[in-house]
């Protein structure tokens, strides 16, 4: 198996790892019920996706 010829410095390691950050979720407003939801997913509160009901929710 190949081995590195020399060791990476700590600064170089930290520079490489500095881009491993968590990003915020891209939440959009549901056009049907106006609650926040993830893009391109079925809305968890109303069950609609792209203007059609995908999951039938029980009325409370």
pLDDT tens-digit profile, the chain (60 residues): 789 899 999 999 888 888 787 788 899 999 999 999 999 999 999 999 998 999 887 765
Bridge partner residues of 37 (DSSP): 28
Report d(CA 47, CA 19) in Å as an integer: 36
Count the domains in the chain: 1
Establish if 39 belongs to a structural domain.
Answer: yes
Classify residue 47 as exposed, middle or buried by CB count within 10 Å of its CB (0-12, 13-18, 19+).
Answer: middle
Query: Where in the sequence is the domain holding 53, given as residue range(s)?
Result: 24-60
pLDDT confidence of residue 59: 63
Establish if 1 belongs to a structural domain.
Answer: no
**In whole angstroms, how far apart are CA 29 and each of 17, 35, 40, 43, 58?**
33, 6, 11, 10, 21
Establish if 10 belongs to a structural domain.
Answer: no
Establish if 51 belongs to a structural domain.
Answer: yes
Establish if 55 belongs to a structural domain.
Answer: yes
Establish if 17 belongs to a structural domain.
Answer: no
pLDDT confidence of residue 19: 79
């Amino acid at each position: 198996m190949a081995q590195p010829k020399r060791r990476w410095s700590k600064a170089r390691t930290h520079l490489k790892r500095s881009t491993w950050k968590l990003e915020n979720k891209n939440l959009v407003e549901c056009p049907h019920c106006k609650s926040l939801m993830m893009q391109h997913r079925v809305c968890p509160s109303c069950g609609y996706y792209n203007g059609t009901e995908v999951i039938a929710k029980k009325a409370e």
